[in-house]
Amino acid sequence: MIPVQGYTDQKVAVLGLGRSGIATARALREGGAIPVVWDDNAEARERAQTEGFDPVDLGKTSAWEGVAALILSPGIPHLYPTPNKYVSMAWDAGIPVDNDISLFFAGFATTEWDEFVTMPRVVTVTGSNGKSTTSALLHHVLQHVNRPSQLAGNIGRGALDVDPAIDGEVVVLELSSYQTDLARNLTPDIAVFTNLSPDHLDRHGGLGGYFAAKRRLFAEGGPDRAVIGVDEDEGRYLANQLATGKADDRVIRVSTKAKLTGPGWNVFVRKGFLSEYRKGRQTGSIDLRSIQGLPGVHNHQNACAAYAVARSLGLAPRVIEAAFHSFEGLPHRSQTIATKNGVRFVNDSKATNVDSAACALDAFENIRWICGGLEKEGGLGALTSHFGNVKKAYVIGRDAANFALGLEGLEVEICETMAVAVARSAAEAQEGDTVLLAPAAASFDQYDSFEKRGDDFTDCVAAL
């Protein structure tokens, strides 16, 4: 746990008592603050009470007396689509609104670091897609070389739940736009921007607001080094804003679409081969095609970003390559869960939007595609150009028939349930086929989360 600094004997309100909210309350208490906690959900309040916190209704004006700050959980919108009522009350009372990521950065460094030989480092990873895999892959590489490392943020533990740093340790934080948008303290040593595609637009008031939330990680804290995916205009813009010139190697550009060989520091993939160039000369390469845990171009982009950070931390290319080969991937993200009679079963339940589903469809051949669920804004039109590897689609979801209408040009079977879709796709699959769960939709019509959906797929495959 990272004790929160700067609020000794002061009341600090915590709104939202999920994983990060409870971790924040614990860290505040550990640092000598007086947490004032609240959640509109009665079950969440009961869980807080079991840990010794007494919920106080922040809807009452009297609850704000003497409160020094409001710490908002990331899942709670604060400004768009409409201001949160509790946040609005804090604004009116002149009380600063912050979040747990900000508290982490404010309290991570301690006087004990004066005795360290190698200063701890914080690496942050943000972007629309790939940030979880990039973060986990980097953490895996560090573990492979026995370098102390912790993985937290939007993956694994909450940021304030990590242990105090030891000599030479690296903390890898996956950060969503919800977490970067509000934080007052953002001071990573190395920051990664994977890519940008439309998502969470209601929460951020549009695409510009969404990008601005992610850009804060680079503009507010000024990391020592930035790893930037430049396959979208926003990434190109960000890299240009951060670099002082063509040869500024504080910015490492990453691409899966272009060969980057300028005078700076570049990492890119072409035809499955990762290449590193510095000052116009190649300094490293990895053949990614045989690495089962990193299938497809989207995972090759993740590999480029993790490679760039690992090189920034002083690791050699051959060491990084060896670590890549032992990476098994993350659950629900292009995860191979079984092979039966030459048929590969892949769980990519995390592919909840069109862009991530497109990446999955491009990563495999001879696909028996299980898709469907709660369709997101924008429809499925952008997927049409990625149907080339699909032999047949098996549609699930409560509104499977309507979803299927967006799959024009494909052979489609309406299955509705996961069990039927797995059974039908497996029965029709031939050696060399891939049965791929990549829903291109949210899960909430049938499941509590994409994880539950992926688990159901895995269970159905196991039942074969």
- pLDDT recorded at residue 355: 85
Cβ-contact 171, 162 below 8 angstroms: yes
Q: Which fold has domain 11-98?
A: Rossmann fold (3.40.50)
> Is the CA virtual torsion 390, 393, 397, 403 positive or negative?
positive
Q: Helix, strand or coil for residue 399?
A: coil
Provide the pLDDT for residue 82. 94
Q: Strand order in 273-278's β-sheet?
A: 149-153, 170-174, 121-126, 190-193, 225-229, 251-255, 265-270, 273-278, 281-287
pLDDT digits (tens, 9 = 90+) for 319-329: 999 999 999 88
Mind giving me the DSSP string for 330-345? -TTSSEEEEEETTEEE
Write out the residue limits of the CATH 3.90.190.20 domain(s) in the chain. 335-462
Query: pLDDT per residue over 103-140, tens digit each?
Result: 999 999 999 999 999 999 999 999 998 899 999 999 99
DSSP 5: P
- pLDDT value of position 155: 87
Residue ranges, CATH 3.40.50.720, the chain: 11-98
What are the angstrom distances between the C-alpha of 53 and each of 56, 91, 376? 9, 24, 38
Third-level CATH fold of 103-325:
UDP-N-acetylmuramoyl-L-alanine:D-glutamate ligase (3.40.1190)
Phi and psi, residue 124, nearest 5°:
-115, 145
pLDDT given at position 53: 96
Structure tokens at 269: 């993939």
Residue intervals of the chain classified under CATH 3.40.1190.10 are 103-325
pTM over 0.85: yes
pLDDT for position 105: 96
pLDDT, residue 378, reads: 74
SS3 184: coil
Three-state DSSP state, 46? helix
Residue 37 CA to residue 13 CA, distance in Å, equals 6
Please report the pLDDT score of residue 451 as a whole number.
94
Helix (H) or strand (E) holding 151: strand 149-153
Q: Is 347:434 a contact under the CB 8 Å cutoff? A: no
Residues 335-462, CATH architecture: Alpha-Beta Complex (3.90)
Q: Which residues are annotated as a binding site?
A: 127-133
Q: What is the DSSP string of 100-117?
A: HHHHHHHHS--GGGGG-S
pLDDT tens over the chain, length 464 residues:
999 999 999 999 999 999 899 999 999 999 999 999 999 999 999 999 999 999 999 999 999 999 999 999 998 999 999 999 999 999 999 999 999 999 999 999 999 999 999 999 999 999 998 899 999 999 999 999 999 999 999 888 899 999 999 999 999 999 999 999 999 999 999 999 999 988 888 999 999 999 999 999 999 878 999 999 999 999 999 999 999 999 999 999 999 999 998 899 999 999 999 999 999 999 999 999 989 889 988 899 999 999 999 999 999 999 999 999 999 888 898 899 999 999 999 999 999 988 889 989 999 999 999 999 998 877 888 899 999 999 999 999 999 999 999 999 999 999 999 999 999 999 999 999 999 999 999 999 999 999 999 999 999 999 99
Q: Distance (Å, rounded) from C-alpha 330 to C-alpha 328?
A: 7
Of 276, 350, 351, give the one whose Cα is nearest residue 315: 276
Q: What is the Rg, in whole angstroms, of the alpha carbon atoms belonging to the chain?
A: 23
Tell me, rounded to whole angstroms, the distance of Cα 378 from its chain centroid.
Answer: 22
Give 3-state DSSP helix, strand, coil % of the chain, rounded to 5.
35, 20, 40
Cross-sheet strand order for the sheet of 412-416: 335-340, 343-347, 434-437, 367-371, 390-396, 412-416
Separation between Cα atoms, residue 18 and residue 39, nearest integer Å: 9
Which residue ranges are tagged as binding site for ATP? Answer: 127-133
- Per-residue pLDDT, 137: 97
How far apart are the C-alpha atoms of 97 and 271, rounded to whole Å? 47
Angle between helices 296-312 and 317-325 (to 10 degrees): 140
Distance between CA 14 and CA 25 in Å, rounded?
7
Instruction: Please report the pLDDT score of residue 381 as a whole number.
Output: 86
